A and B are shown apart, each in its own frame.
Chain A
């Protein structure tokens, strides 16, 4: 029913370097959340920036209207403080978005998750330990913009890997399935060689 599309691995990420990368290891996929996810996270900051602009334009008049005779320097000090906080919060949000990375190499899958500024999880999974790969696209916007989750079930009772809100989840699933098949074939070959006494 579903024909498995052959994917070529020519698009390599040679400039990508991560901690623990082996010398003979090639990065096949480097995945982050879809850009639209960042846009949604950015929206509250956009409202804050608009709020700040309104505060700058109409704040003084508003203070006069209320009857508060505040020194203008105080007004600008509060405003600049708010601007610094908005800028910092925006960058922390960017870091949390950008440092969430899933790296698929020809040897393994590395899951780097930046939970918060001081919380970071890194886990890895060898291709031959993969049992099942599922892609899931749910909702109107993810369907329109082609992004969703990929779940990787590992052997044993280990926790499953999840690639969250990545672009093109079906394509990613296909690539991982091909890599898993290759890894299992390689493992079987090695076992055969051991049994035949060649290794």
Chain B
């Protein structure tokens, strides 16, 4: 059985991770000051992981079968 909502959730998660990695890569490579780059990455990753953690907690709590009108 394929749950379309679960697939959409995974696609969004992978996209978020790719963009997060790209943002960190840009900051690390192109910032002209190393200390400032580390500070920015810490701030970005800190809040991103907090938001992502909240997201995962609710994704685990959600009853994916409840949206069974879109299960193939």
Contacts and interface: CB of A to CB of B under 8 A. Distances in A.
Interface of A: 15-18, 30, 71, 73-74, 76-77, 80-81, 83-85, 87-88, 91-92, 95, 98-99, 101, 112, 114, 117-118, 120
A178 B26 CA distance: 34
Nearest to B61: A73
Interface residues of B, number: 25
Nearest to B43: A91
Contact of B62 (A77, A87, A88, A101): A77
B32 A16 contact: yes
Nearest to B19: A88
Interface of B: 12, 16, 19-20, 22-23, 26-27, 30-33, 44, 47-48, 51-52, 54-55, 58-59, 61-63, 66
A109 B48 CA distance: 36
B63 A80 contact: no
A81 B52 CA distance: 8
Contacts of B47: 87
A92 B19 contact: yes
Contacts of B52: 84
Contacts of B63: 71, 73
Nearest to A74: B62
B62 A117 contact: no
30 contacts: A15-B33, A16-B33, A17-B32, A30-B32, A73-B58, A73-B61, A76-B54, A77-B59, A77-B62, A80-B54, A80-B55, A81-B12, A83-B51, A83-B54, A84-B16, A84-B48, A84-B52, A84-B55, A85-B16, A88-B19, A88-B23, A95-B23, A95-B27, A98-B31, A99-B26, A101-B32, A114-B26, A114-B30, A117-B26, A120-B30
A18 B12 CA distance: 35
Contacts of A77: 55, 58-59, 61-62
B62 A73 contact: yes
